[in-house]
Structure 1
Amino acid sequence: MKQNIEIEFKNLLTENEYNSLFEGLHLKTKDVFSQENIYFDTVNFDLKSKKLALRIRIKEDTAEITLKSPHKKHLLETNITISLAEAYSIKKSTVYFASGMIADVLKSYDLDPRTPLKIFAQLKTERVEQINRNSIIVLDKNYYADKIDYELEVESLSAEEGEQLIDNLMNDFSIPKRKTLNKIIRAYNALHSKTADD
């Protein structure tokens, strides 16, 4: 189990902008990999009300539980590596964290860690990454709630370096700055919009 500060900058893209970045950065289709994000909350969305986000991320041969909590202008990630078998088992059952670091974070927000959590959204991402000094450039194609969106992310060890890098990329490729919510919020909004339409 580990904790780290997530310093990340992101911007939604059109399909054409995504393709331009993919080609302009000389990325390769063979380097694209898939991952599945499964998002959890209580029935009353108590985590969301505290600006917390809990997910399981499943890749080809690894899985990880992550609780994100506010930390200054960024996010604190509390991570637990689990097996694929554990991840798929959690998908089929109610989950809660009665002890451990995730429970400690939940308690610090006056949440009962024994409260059952349920899946409320799932999102599949096709991702490709490129290292740039102390940062990672990430291009995502996301599928959720019958929607597809495209996203540029820059993950960095330094807020200043990460912000400068994403600004340079957007200037170089003539991409306008767009308000970009986190994936969990976009999935939540899309799901509730779809439910309202139904």
Structure 2
Amino acid sequence: MAKEIEIEFKNLLTKEEFEKLKSYFQVNESSFQSQTNYYFETPDFTIKEHGGALRIRKKSLTSYTLTLKIKQAVGHLEINQKISQTEASTMLKTFVLPDGEVKDYINEVKLNLNALVLIGDLTTNRVEFPYENGLLVLDHSTYLNHEDYELEFEVSDENIGRQQFINLLEKQQIPQRETLNKIRRFFNVKQGNQTN
């Protein structure tokens, strides 16, 4: 199990800004990898109320990761559990968590997730590469007949990372935009609210 605090900065991009960054960093289309997130929630939005998200991420025909994210004072606690294709398929059909670290943590903190439902999926074409002291990510996501472009910067130090991210945006003349995470944007589109 990987249990970590994720600190990242995000900025939505226009398609033109996305293409500009691809060119600046000399990223080829063939460098992008496709992944699909399948999001789960309870009918009363228990996970969302805890500032969290529960998903299965499929990166290839045989690579599946079950992830629970819960908001912390700084960043998110992220619990990642590798699962088999069979476990992923079973959860997508039955909405029952497989045994393992994610289920153990949910039981430990007494989150009631007995009535999970699949709320939808989001596919991202992603490229990531080292930048400054972190990992820079360019994402093109499609979901619910909607698409968006995003720049993410994953770091270990919040203050240094924030300044490096702001410097990059300024250098590329990209305005800072308040950017919700993908699950929130997904919810907003699903509920007919197009805010970031």
1:105: how far off?
A: 3.7
Displacement of 1:192: 1.5
- Per the normalisation by structure 2, the TM-score is 0.90
Q: How many residues align?
A: 192
Task: Check whether the contact 1:96–1:116 (CA below 8 A) recurs between aligned residues.
Answer: no
Matches within 5 A, 1:92-171: 92-96=93-97, 100-107=100-107, 110-113=110-113, 115-171=114-170
CA distance in 2, matches of 1:85, 1:96: 12
Q: Summarize deviations over 1:62-86 as a string: whole Å, max 9, x none.
A: 1101100122121000110112332
Give distance in 1, aligned partners of 2:87 and 2:106: 21
Tell me how far apart the structure 2 counterparts of residues 21 and 88 of structure 1 sit (CA, whole Å): 36
Alpha carbons 1:55, 1:66 under 8 Å: kept:
yes
For residues 83-102 of structure 1, give each alpha carbon's deviation from its aligned partner in whole angstroms, at most 9, with x where no partner exists.
233223322222236x6543
Letter in 1 for 2:138: L
Distance 1:72 1:44 in 2: 24
Measure, in 2, the Cα distance between the counterparts of 1:86 and 1:102.
13
Matches within 5 A, 1:9-158: 9-60=9-60, 61-96=62-97, 100-107=100-107, 110-113=110-113, 115-158=114-157
1:2 corresponds to? 2
The runs of at least 4 consecutive aligned structure 1 residues that moved more than 4 Å come to 107-110
5+ long unaligned stretches in structure 2: none
1:71 alignment partner AA: Q
Letter in 2 for 1:26: Q
Contact 2:46–2:112 (8 Å) recurs in 1:
no
Q: How far apart in 2 are the matches of 1:51 and 1:158?
A: 21
| 1:141-183, Cα deviation, whole Å (9 max, x unpaired) | 0001110000000011222332122112211111111110010
Q: Distance in 2 between matches of 1:119 and 1:174?
A: 39
Specify the code of the residue in structure 1 equivalent to 2:31: D
* Percentage of identical aligned residues: 38
Q: Secondary structure at the match of 1:35?
A: strand
Match in the other structure for 1:187: 186
